[in-house]
A and B are shown apart, each in its own frame.
Chain A
């Protein structure tokens, strides 16, 4: 297994409360890694350290290292916007920006000046809407406000928006928890389709989703990583008592 993200001695704090305790894990390249655990175990906090989102919370602090391709994203000379361009995020609730569907996808391209001329933009927007499986539903209303879409469509739009900036890593923070079952299926299907091209890390609190998606699984409890390994091994033969209890639905 080739690691894309390596986490070394990572601790995270909200004020004086320690949310992550000495995390050491590796996330494999171009596979889906699922982080699971009961609510409050720190799985979202861990995810937020991968795109330097934790520092948006007032009073949050981090020690240790997160290496993406061997480069510490918490090093002093690192440009946060570059990190976030490489590490995309699919949030829990879709947040379409207050602009048209087209502009939502073009936004990142425009900010990072990744295309030139109207035609290139149009092509790119179409391409990523197709990848996200939304093109056919929106091609006739590209210039309408994105807030007019259904919530499931909004989440696929957010996926297209995130993919447009060509990240290497996709983070999903319970990306289907606000969606109806059909829309959730859409998103899961997309993540599975895309996993050969992107390293994907998904936080989930539903065990069934974890089993459907995971190639690699991490189980967390009370701010610590209890067990991490290939999904098959974790789900069929967990080594830790707490993992076993969680998988059996004891908490």
Chain B
């Protein structure tokens, strides 16, 4: 009884106190509205930032875009800023090659890992393996760069390149002309490992959108798990898998430091995966701030950044739209 009485008294107290200092409902509504507006502004800020960066890059690269034709810029293969030659082709092709090799190396094992985790793995295995894979994404790029420098470059230079030189030289893109190990292949291997956690986790998410009813329908007519995966699970989520790969590619396109540490950075249009290359991010990171007295140099680098940004934005928007569609089906 006493306890109850006590609670009762305290409650009355707070109530009276509350009533005496209670704000008017107009004030409360004003506070609510201003909170809402503040959050809105904060949310919109990143969008504004992206637009501002894009516009800024466009503005800064405008001088070179007006003085040279797009053909000269994007199909020109000579990069001699002091002679006024700004051919981006070596860098665009460098980015393209490094990205393609990285994605091609990453995708098959990533698909198999995601499949294993979502379809075959025991709950316990999954609960251990998933966080470990996510941990790979937490390793700083520069550490991957060092690993590439110490392990992958020598491996490519001393093992893969000689092997290819002896046996595979007649296959296009596998000729060995610069056997140092600093190469597109090295960069591709490092990139493959770097984008793997992202690709695995997105593909895994995509697989979990397949309802179990479907798997069971297939198993019920005596299909094996592999047949179920091949004929039921994969066809249903194909768009999602493609989107995951594109997302991985957009990550690879922009990766800078780890790539520039192992790729050699020679401005040439590569002809083989054993050639050195000079991707766009490396060009910008290596040169911005130096030799700014050369006319249009600054503008050319800004133009490179703009190209990079546009490519990554397109990749990201495409893959996000497709992925959202696929993931929404989970509820159905």
- Of the residues B123, B221, B222, B235, contact of A98 by C-beta under 8 Å: B235
- Check A85 against B216 for contact (C-beta < 8 Å): no
In the complex, which residues of chain B have a beta carbon less than 8 angstroms from the beta carbon of A85? 221-222
Q: A78 in the interface, Cβ–Cβ < 8 Å?
A: no
Q: Is the CB of A108 within 8 A of B222?
A: yes
Would you call A93 and B221 a contact (CB within 8 A)?
A: no
Q: A81 touching B223 by the CB < 8 A rule? A: yes
Binds A, one of B54-62, B224-232, B246-254, B285-293: B224-232
CA gap between A51 and B222 in the complex, in Å: 10
Q: List 11 A-B contacts (CB under 8 A).
A: A53-B219, A81-B223, A95-B211, A95-B217, A97-B214, A97-B232, A99-B231, A111-B221, A111-B222, A111-B223, A158-B217
- Determine if A95 and B221 form an interchain contact, defined as CB atoms under 8 angstroms apart: no
Determine if B222 and A58 form an interchain contact, defined as CB atoms under 8 angstroms apart.
no
Mark contacts of B205-241 with chain A using CB atoms, 8 A cut-off: 1 yes-contact digit, 0 otherwise. 0000001011011111111100100011001100000
In the assembled complex, the Cα of A91 lies from the Cα of B214 at a distance in Å of 11
**Interface of B (DSSP majority class):** helix
In the complex, what distance in Å separates the CA atom of A65 from the CA atom of B201?
41
Q: Is A82 an interface residue (CB 8 A)?
A: yes
What chain B residues lie within 8 Å of A143 (beta carbons)? none
Encoded as 1 (CB less than 8 Å from any B CB) or 0, chain A from 135 to 165 comes to 0000000000000000000000010011011
Partner of A165, one of B211, B221, B235: B221
Contact call B222/A89, Cβ cutoff below 8 A: no
Q: How far is the CA of A95 from the CA of B332 in the complex (A)?
A: 12
Interface string of A89-118 (1 = CB under 8 A from B): 101010111110000000110011000000
On chain A, the residues within 8 Å of B219 by CB distance are 53, 56, 84
Would you call A82 and B211 a contact (CB within 8 A)?
Answer: no
A81 near B218 with CB under 8 A, answer: no
- Find A162's partner among B213, B220, B236 (CB 8 Å cutoff): B220
Please give me the residue from chain B that is nearest to A82 by CB atom.
Answer: B222
A88 interface residue (CB < 8 Å to B): yes
In contact, A165 and B216 (Cβ under 8 angstroms): no
Among B211, B216, B220, B236, residue most surrounded by chain A Cβ atoms (within 10 Å): B220
- Contact for B221 among A56, A96, A99, A107, CB less than 8 A: A107
The CA-CA distance from A84 to B215 in the complex, in Å, is: 14
CA distance A197 to B60 in the complex (A): 80
- Given A98-B235, A111-B227, the answer on whether A91 and B216 have CB atoms closer than 8 Å is yes
Q: How many interface residues does B have (CB within 8 Å)?
A: 18
Residue of A nearest to B223 (CB): A111
Cβ of B216 and Cβ of A53 under 8 Å apart?
yes
A51: chain B residues at CB < 8 Å are 220
Instruction: State the CA gap A226–B231 with chains docked (Å).
Output: 42
Does B227 lie within 8 Å of A56, measured CB to CB? no
Chain A residues in 8 Å Cβ range of B211: 95
Q: Which residues of B contact A165 (CB under 8 A)?
A: 221-222
Q: Point out residues on B near A: beta carbons under 8 Å.
A: 123, 211, 213-214, 216-224, 227, 231-232, 235-236
Please, how many residues of chain A have a CB less than 8 angstroms from a CB on the other chain? 27
A103: min CB distance to chain B, Å:
9
| Nearest 7 Cβ contacts at the A-B interface | A85-B222, A95-B217, A108-B221, A95-B213, A84-B222, A89-B220, A98-B236
B239 CB to closest chain A CB (Å) equals: 12
A153 to chain B, nearest CB (A): 15
The docked-state distance in angstroms from the alpha carbon of A53 to that of B224 is 13
* Bound form: Cα–Cα A58–B231 in Å: 23
* Contact pick for B224, options A58, A81, A95, CB 8 Å: A81
| B231 nearest in chain A by CB position | A107
Q: A81-B222, A81-B223, A95-B211 are in contact. Are A56 and B216 (CB under 8 A)?
A: yes
Give the docked Cα–Cα distance between A82 and B232 (Å): 20
Which residues of B are found within 8 Å of A107, using beta-carbon distances?
Answer: 218, 221, 223, 231
Tell me, rounded to whole Å, the shortest Cβ–Cβ distance linking A76 to chain B.
Answer: 18
Distance in Å from the Cβ of A132 to the closest Cβ of chain B? 14
CB nearest to B227 among chain A residues: A111
Query: With a CB–CB cut-off of 8 A, which chain A residues contact B231?
Result: 97, 99, 107
Kindly state the separation between the CA atoms of A85 and B227 in the bound complex, as whole angstroms.
14
A112 and B222 contacting across the interface, CB-CB below 8 Å: yes
Chain B residues lying within 8 Å of A56, measured Cβ to Cβ, are 216, 219
Residue from B213, B214, B216, B220 in contact with A88 in the complex, judged by beta carbons closer than 8 Å: B220
Q: Provide the bound-state CA to CA distance between A107 and B217, in Å.
A: 11
- For B237, the closest partner residue in chain A by CB is A98
Chain B residues with CB under 8 A of A108: 221-223
Assembled-state Cα–Cα distance A141/B217 (Å):
22
State whether A84 touches B220 (Cβ < 8 A). yes
11 additional A-B pairs beyond A97-B232, A111-B222, beta carbons within 8 Å, are A53-B216, A81-B223, A84-B219, A84-B220, A91-B213, A95-B213, A98-B235, A98-B236, A99-B231, A108-B223, A161-B217
A77 vs chain B, min Cβ distance (A): 17
Least CB distance, B229 to chain A, in whole angstroms: 13
> Contact between A162 and B221 (Cβ–Cβ < 8 Å)?
yes
Kindly state the separation between the CA atoms of A93 and B236 in the bound complex, as whole angstroms.
19
CB distance from B234 to the nearest CB of A (A): 10
Shortest CB distance B232–A (Å)? 5
User: Which single member of B123, B214, B223 contacts A95 (CB below 8 Å)?
Assistant: B214
